[in-house]
Amino acid sequence: MTKRIPVVEKILSVNDRLALENQARFDSAGVLALNFMASPGAGKTALIEQTVKGLQGQVRIGMINGDIATSLDADRAQAAGATAIQINTGGDCHLDAVMVQSALAQLDLTALDLVIIENVGNLVCPAEFKLGTHRSVLVASLPEGDDKPYKYPGMYRGVDVVVINKIDLLPYVPFRMDFFKKGIEVLNPGVTQFELSCRTGEGIPAWLAWLEKQVREFKES
């Protein structure tokens, strides 16, 4: 035990240092960077598709996709009109700052306003590795169940935004919105929240308006 703790701290501090380097690159290019986290199947890629389509002609979006295998999600983002870079983690269950740094080498930030990093689907360790992004966005969805804030407090506590996706399924799945939101409120009081459906488009305009404002204000700052 006495040996293990310092090793973990050292690894995290190297990651933190690289994350700061990544952030400096985003900052100097005036590019807002988001870290999308979620469990598998919550709809991160679907939300990215809606975002790319919805902000077409207004915001130039680049996407870095982290998956254990395949480039399926990067292909979807590219098809929607984003510049997409795929990172295959080869088994790792989260992205880290080194992986993002290598992806940034392939991305022309001067041609972009916004970079969305789609993390590996996992509600545990992605929250522990800084990437150098300005905001972290948790995509939750109704079929996962309303107990997730209680079961994964580390994830819900650390994020800047919670997007609740698949609200069109509310009549069909056992999901108590009040209970879910109470859990969020305890861990992360006042966190920005959106309720939407990537399938029906309900709630998407409010998300797009918020994001467009974030990008604009970041450029002006």
User: What is the SS3 string spanning 143-178?
Assistant: HHCCCHHHHCHHHHHHCCEEEEECHHHCCCCCCCHH
When CB distances to Mg ion are compared, the closest residue is 45
Residue with tokens 């506590």: 157
Minimum separation from the CB atom of position 139 to Mg ion (A): 9
Which among Zn ion, Mg ion, none contacts residue 44 (Cβ within 5 to 8 A by kind)? Mg ion
Residue 104 has which token pair? Answer: 């940034």
If one asks whether residue 44 binds Mg ion (CB under 5 A), the answer comes out as yes
If one asks whether residue 45 binds Mg ion (CB under 5 A), the answer comes out as yes
Q: Which of 193, 25, 37 is nearest to 128 (CA)?
A: 37
Q: Write the binding mask 112 to 141 for Zn ion: x where contact by CB under 5 A, - elsewhere.
A: -------------x----------------
Which among Mg ion, Zn ion, none contacts residue 76 (Cβ within 5 to 8 A by kind)? none
Residue with tokens 């996407």: 63
Q: Write the binding mask 46 to 75 for Mg ion: x where contact by CB under 5 A, - elsewhere.
A: ---------------------------x--
Q: What string of DSSP letters covers 172-203?
A: TS---HHHHHHHHHHHSTT-EEEE--TTT-TT
Per-residue CA distances from 190 to 78, 113, 162 (Å): 34, 27, 11
Q: Give the contacts of 217 (CB within 8 A, at least 6 positions apart).
A: none
Residues 85 to 114 in contact with Zn ion, rule: CB under 5 A: 93-94
Stretch of 39-47, 160-168, 175-183, 193-201 contacting Mg ion, by CB under 5 A? 39-47
Which among Zn ion, Mg ion, none contacts residue 94 (Cβ within 5 to 8 A by kind)? Zn ion
Q: Which residues bind Zn ion (CB under 5 A)?
A: 93-94, 125
